[in-house]
């Protein structure tokens, strides 16, 4: 049965005879790639648009409805040397993109208003002593009001909305003092204009909004970029399933197009992409990505299988179930819900700062006003001075102190191979003093590897690799990968459940079970040396060899564990796997604390126990069984190969084979937290300097404008230091 590829799920009908598809493309990095791809795709007849987006690494394609099959584009890109896969924008990314556009629109309006109001303010500042008559000054003030009021009403929306949301739930965030300050400054300026007074603060208010919007927009852009990369990675996993579209007819369809009730075919060597129940066939399956257990389980009629399981030996038919049907999933979902509720209680540094800041500032302004009244000033003058205090303390620097550091730090982490799922994870990560690793798929790599390559002569390995290419068995695939084989041995035959055999130069070649290759004695002798390894035998004429195949440790795992320990972080392993396997890994890595055979509930209990002792725990895990403990921990991390649910739950996701991003993330976040605190102190220092001036009532709009932009620039420049961590510590 040959399956066809069906990408119709991703094709959008634009009407008027045109179709549209978005592809995520790997490896587009320069202008050369861009023109190569666009020319290569435009050359296909009927293609009306082929446009590369270099920022998001995507291609948008449009073509005339008809004979053209979307899989043709993917083949064409493969010929050009790029791996591509259809892509569907997830809701989260669409929301982030819409937010970014809205912030940019607000920023445009605020910047326009700030420039024009400033143009009117400068003559007022410089002209009051000279030849500007009061009528002209009033005219300029009225014009400023005309520009600033509608602009602030529009561009202030992000702050007003967020402040209102916080106030309605009885909280205070940084946007509350911002909104109060801007609103009062504008209101007072209107009143002052009506009274033909000398000073108005239209320029200060609108400039404040502009600065803050710059910070917000940069933050949003970084988040959008992270989402786009995560979306591409998800698309390029190219998760497909072989679906029965009729009794004897199958098609390769994307997982997104599979619905509960469908029946899919799972062949040996394939990873299951859906949750479901076996309805026909019998096989061994590797569930290590789900439960951490590296021993194969038997799957037969009625067995529940989960996305991520690897089918080893036989062919299975699986009926796709809705997510809640599986008992394991239902249990994990319940634990996850509890854990997530507990986590939402964390209060961000910015919110903690504003809880302190807002009351102090508002009280100071109020006391200033009362104080001036008590020493005999008029109510009007006292009110103006009080509002001047609010304007000068309006947390321009404070509002930028944390988002700018976060933007720069998440950019640096992104380059180090770490994607952030949630905004406050940097703060929580910086506090970590204890890390719990899952073993399977986290400390070890999810793919199988030949571990005794040193014992096998190179020419034998080469022959074994060629023979292995004829088999779909994952263990054989590992041998083929290790030998780096390209072309299969001609005439090789696979005997299901036994192995592969072939002929070369009159010699009989066999690869498979030890009994199939006549190597039982050799296998018995080496049994028990490595409890986790699968043994595959190879016979070449009379000679016998054994390959030991297992999930290897990540290449730099040992170095990373000791780097973490050097940073005074205690490391421990909680695994769902058997004791001998976990003990071996712990010994190899120099980890003294480990626990084996843990259920999801056990893992949570251990984390809660550590938390109650005052530890800040980070959980690093990938399996479906880790999802609840990822949510329960103070902060959590997953490799990109993790189960969907775990990846969505984790605060951070790291890319690639090495474990190094874990240390990089900790270094960058510690540095970032340090700079955030420093920035807050800079903002406080600025206030200590500026507030007495404001209280004494000598602040002019010019002083306010200079002080505000000065402190904002200082904080922004300081934030740039988050790009680097001190060298030589790792």
* Binder among 35, 378, 562, 599 for other proteins (CB under 8 A): 35
- Cβ atoms of 531 and 587 closer than 8 Å: no
For the CB of residue 116, give the shortest distance to other proteins in the complex, in Å.
5
- Cβ atoms of 473 and 497 closer than 8 Å: no
**DSSP code, position 322:** -
**DSSP code, position 271:** B
For the CB of residue 119, give the shortest distance to other proteins in the complex, in Å.
7
Give 139 or 689: the residue with its C-beta nearer to other proteins: 139
Give 113 or 470: the residue with its C-beta nearer to other proteins: 113
φ, ψ at 681 (rounded to 5°): -65, -35
Separation between Cα atoms, residue 365 and residue 391, nearest integer Å: 10
Q: Is 222 in the site for other proteins (CB under 8 A)?
A: no
Give 135 or 726: the residue with its C-beta nearer to other proteins: 135
* Binder among 6, 22, 56, 203 for other proteins (CB under 8 A): 56
- Cβ atoms of 138 and 259 closer than 8 Å: no
Q: 652-654 and 635-639 as β-strands: parallel, antiparallel, unpaired?
A: parallel
| Cβ neighbours for 378, distance < 8 A, ≥ 6 positions apart | none
**DSSP code, position 247:** T
Binding segment (CB under 8 A) for other proteins, from list 112-120, 206-214, 430-438, 668-676: 112-120
For the CB of residue 396, give the shortest distance to other proteins in the complex, in Å.
23
Q: Which of 383, 391, 384 is nearest to 361 (CA)?
A: 391
Taking the C-alpha atoms of 478, 484, 488 and 494 in order, what is their torsion angle to the nearest 10 degrees?
-10
Q: Is 55 in the site for other proteins (CB under 8 A)?
A: yes
Q: What is the residue-wise DSSP string for 109-159? A: HHHHHHHHHHHHHHHHHHHTTTT--HHHHHHHHHHHHHHHHHHHHHHTHHH
Give 150 or 580: the residue with its C-beta nearer to other proteins: 150
Q: What is the residue-wise DSSP string for 500-563? A: EEEEETTEEEEEESTTTTT-HHHHHHHTTSSTTPEEEEEEETTEEEEEEEEEEEPTTHHHHHHH
* Binder among 3, 11, 18, 34 for other proteins (CB under 8 A): 34
How many C-beta neighbours within 10 Å does residue 353 have?
Answer: 21
Separation between Cα atoms, residue 511 and residue 294, nearest integer Å: 22
Distance of CA 75 to the CA centre of its chain: 29
Separation between Cα atoms, residue 683 and residue 354, nearest integer Å: 12
For the CB of residue 723, give the shortest distance to other proteins in the complex, in Å.
19
Burial degree of 259 (CB within 10 A; 0-12, 13-18, 19+): exposed
For the CB of residue 114, give the shortest distance to other proteins in the complex, in Å.
11
Give 55 or 696: the residue with its C-beta nearer to other proteins: 55
Binding characters for other proteins, 116-135, by CB under 8 A (x = yes): x--xx---------------
* Binder among 54, 78, 706, 717 for other proteins (CB under 8 A): 54
Taking the C-alpha atoms of 625, 627, 630 and 633 in order, what is their torsion angle to the nearest 10 degrees?
-80
Give 107 or 178: the residue with its C-beta nearer to other proteins: 107
Angle at 704 between CA 701 and CA 707, to 5 degrees: 150
Binding segment (CB under 8 A) for other proteins, from list 52-60, 72-80, 398-406, 478-486: 52-60
For the CB of residue 409, give the shortest distance to other proteins in the complex, in Å.
21
Size of the site for other proteins (CB under 8 A): 24
Binding segment (CB under 8 A) for other proteins, from list 33-41, 249-257, 400-408, 701-709: 33-41
Binding segment (CB under 8 A) for other proteins, from list 107-115, 168-176, 180-188, 556-564: 107-115
For the CB of residue 449, give the shortest distance to other proteins in the complex, in Å.
37
**SS3 state at 4:** strand
* Binder among 11, 18, 68, 104 for other proteins (CB under 8 A): 104
Told to judge if 438 belongs to the known catalytic residues of this protein, a careful annotator would answer: yes
Residue whose structure tokens are 């270099």: 54
Catalytic residue from among 286, 424, 438, 622: 438
Q: Rg of the Cα trace of the chain?
A: 32
Give 115 or 720: the residue with its C-beta nearer to other proteins: 115
Binding segment (CB under 8 A) for other proteins, from list 81-89, 136-144, 297-305, 382-390: 136-144
For the CB of residue 154, give the shortest distance to other proteins in the complex, in Å.
11
For the CB of residue 161, give the shortest distance to other proteins in the complex, in Å.
20
Q: Which of 691, 679, 687, 685 is nearest to 715 (CA)?
A: 679
Binding segment (CB under 8 A) for other proteins, from list 85-93, 114-122, 550-558, 702-710: 114-122
10-34 per-residue burial string, b: 16 or more CB within 10 A, e: under 16 = bbeeeeeeebebbbbbeebeeeebb
- The first and second tokens of residue 620, run together, are 């690093």
Residue whose structure tokens are 């399996």: 623
- Cβ atoms of 606 and 595 closer than 8 Å: yes
* Binder among 11, 112, 522, 556 for other proteins (CB under 8 A): 112
Give 109 or 464: the residue with its C-beta nearer to other proteins: 109
Q: 570-574 and 593-595 as β-strands: parallel, antiparallel, unpaired?
A: parallel
How many C-beta neighbours within 10 Å does residue 75 have?
Answer: 12
Q: Is 347 in the site for other proteins (CB under 8 A)?
A: no
* Binder among 37, 61, 84, 109 for other proteins (CB under 8 A): 109
For the CB of residue 179, give the shortest distance to other proteins in the complex, in Å.
23
Give 108 or 541: the residue with its C-beta nearer to other proteins: 108
Give 120 or 699: the residue with its C-beta nearer to other proteins: 120
For the CB of residue 500, give the shortest distance to other proteins in the complex, in Å.
48
Q: Is 49 in the site for other proteins (CB under 8 A)?
A: no
DSSP E strands in 289-443: the ranges are 297-299, 304-305, 310-311, 316-320, 418-420, 434-437
Binding segment (CB under 8 A) for other proteins, from list 17-25, 50-58, 476-484, 676-684: 50-58
By CB under 8 A, the residues from 142 to 171 that bind other proteins are 143, 147
Binding characters for other proteins, 72-101, by CB under 8 A (x = yes): -----------------------------x
364-375 per-residue burial string, b: 16 or more CB within 10 A, e: under 16 = bbeebbeebeee
Q: Is 47 in the site for other proteins (CB under 8 A)?
A: no
For the CB of residue 210, give the shortest distance to other proteins in the complex, in Å.
13
Give 134 or 496: the residue with its C-beta nearer to other proteins: 134
Give 105 or 611: the residue with its C-beta nearer to other proteins: 105
Binding segment (CB under 8 A) for other proteins, from list 17-25, 108-116, 178-186, 485-493: 108-116
Give 42 or 422: the residue with its C-beta nearer to other proteins: 42
Binding segment (CB under 8 A) for other proteins, from list 27-35, 84-92, 478-486, 612-620: 27-35
Separation between Cα atoms, residue 715 and residue 730, nearest integer Å: 28
Q: Is 218 in the site for other proteins (CB under 8 A)?
A: no
Task: Number of helices (H) and strands (E) in the chain: give both, helices first.
Answer: 23, 28
User: Catalytic site residues?
Assistant: 438
Q: Which residues bind other proteins (CB under 8 A)?
A: 30-31, 34-35, 39, 52-56, 101, 104-105, 108-109, 112, 115-116, 119-120, 136, 139, 143, 147
């Amino acid at each position: 049965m040959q399956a066809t590829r069906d990408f119709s799920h991703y094709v959008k009908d634009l009407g008027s005879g045109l179709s549209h598809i978005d592809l995520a493309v790997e490896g587009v990095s320069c202008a050369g790639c861009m023109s190569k791809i666009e020319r290569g795709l435009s050359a296909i007849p009927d293609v009306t648009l082929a446009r590369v987006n270099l920022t998001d690494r995507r291609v948008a394609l449009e073509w005339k409805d008809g004979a053209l099959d979307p899989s043709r584009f993917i083949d064409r890109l493969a010929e050009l040397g790029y791996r591509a896969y259809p892509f569907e924008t997830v809701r989260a990314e669409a929301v982030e993109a819409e937010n970014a556009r809205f912030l940019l629109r607000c920023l445009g309006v605020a910047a326009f208003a700030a420039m024009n109001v400033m143009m009117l303010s400068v003559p007022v500042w410089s002209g009051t002593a000279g030849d500007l008559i009061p009528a002209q000054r009033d005219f300029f003030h009225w014009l400023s009001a005309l520009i600033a009021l509608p602009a602030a009403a529009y561009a202030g929306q992000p702050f007003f909305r967020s402040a209102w949301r916080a106030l309605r739930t009885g909280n205070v965030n940084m946007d509350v003092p911002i909104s109060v300050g801007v609103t009062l400054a504008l209101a007072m300026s209107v009143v002052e204009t009506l009274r033909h007074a000398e000073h108005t603060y239209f320029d200060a208010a609108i400039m404040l909004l502009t600065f803050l919007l710059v910070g917000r927009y940069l933050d949003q852009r970084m988040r959008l970029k992270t989402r786009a990369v995560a979306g591409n990675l998800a698309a390029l996993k190219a998760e497909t399933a072989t679906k029965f579209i009729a009794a004897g007819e199958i098609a390769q369809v994307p997982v997104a197009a599979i619905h509960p009730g469908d029946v899919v075919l799972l062949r040996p060597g394939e990873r299951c992409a859906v949750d479901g129940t076996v309805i026909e066939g019998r096989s061994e399956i590797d569930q290590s990505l789900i439960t951490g257990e590296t021993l194969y389980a038997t799957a037969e009629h009625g067995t529940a299988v989960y996305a991520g399981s690897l089918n080893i030996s036989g062919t299975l038919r699986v009926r796709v179930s809705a997510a809640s049907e599986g008992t394991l999933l239902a249990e994990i979902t319940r634990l996850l819900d509890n854990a997530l509720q507990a986590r939402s209680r964390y209060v961000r540094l910015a919110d903690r700062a504003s809880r302190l800041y807002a009351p102090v500032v508002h009280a100071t302004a109020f006391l200033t006003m009362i104080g001036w009244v008590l020493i005999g000033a008029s109510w009007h003058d006292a009110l103006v001075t009080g509002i001047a205090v609010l304007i000068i303390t309006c947390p321009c620097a404070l509002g930028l102190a944390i988002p700018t550091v976060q933007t720069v730090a998440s950019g640096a982490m992104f380059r180090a191979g770490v994607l952030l799922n949630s905004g406050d994870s940097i703060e929580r990560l910086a506090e970590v003093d204890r890390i719990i690793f899952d073993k399977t798929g986290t400390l070890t790599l999810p793919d199988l590897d030949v571990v005794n390559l040193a014992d096998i002569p190179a020419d034998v390995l080469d022959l074994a690799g060629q023979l292995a290419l004829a088999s779909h068995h994952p263990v054989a695939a590992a041998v083929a990968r290790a030998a780096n084989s390209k072309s299969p041995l001609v005439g090789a035959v696979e005997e299901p459940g036994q192995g592969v055999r072939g002929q070369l130069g009159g010699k009989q070649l066999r690869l498979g079970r030890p009994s199939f290759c006549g190597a039982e004695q050799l296998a018995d002798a080496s049994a028990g040396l490595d409890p986790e390894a699968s043994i595959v035998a190879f016979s070449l004429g009379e000679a016998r060899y054994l390959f030991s195949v297992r999930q290897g440790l990540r290449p730099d795992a040992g170095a990373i564990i000791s780097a973490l320990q050097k940073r005074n972080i205690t490391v421990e392993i909680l695994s769902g796997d058997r004791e001998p396997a976990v003990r071996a890994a712990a010994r190899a890595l120099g980890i003294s604390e480990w626990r084996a055979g843990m259920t999801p509930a056990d893992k949570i209990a251990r984390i809660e126990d550590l938390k109650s002792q005052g530890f800040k725990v980070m959980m690093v895990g990938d399996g479906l069984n880790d999802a609840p403990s990822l949510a329960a921990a103070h902060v959590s991390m997953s490799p990109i190969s993790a189960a969907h649910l775990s990846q969505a739950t984790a605060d951070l996701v790291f890319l690639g084979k090495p474990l190094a991003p874990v240390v990089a993330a900790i270094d960058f976040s510690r540095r970032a937290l340090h700079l955030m605190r420093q920035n807050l102190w800079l903002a406080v220092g600025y206030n200590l300097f500026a507030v007495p001036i404001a209280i004494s009532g000598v602040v002019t709009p010019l002083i306010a404008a200079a002080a505000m932009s000065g402190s904002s620039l200082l904080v922004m420049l300081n934030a740039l230091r988050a790009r680097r961590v001190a060298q030589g510590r790792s």
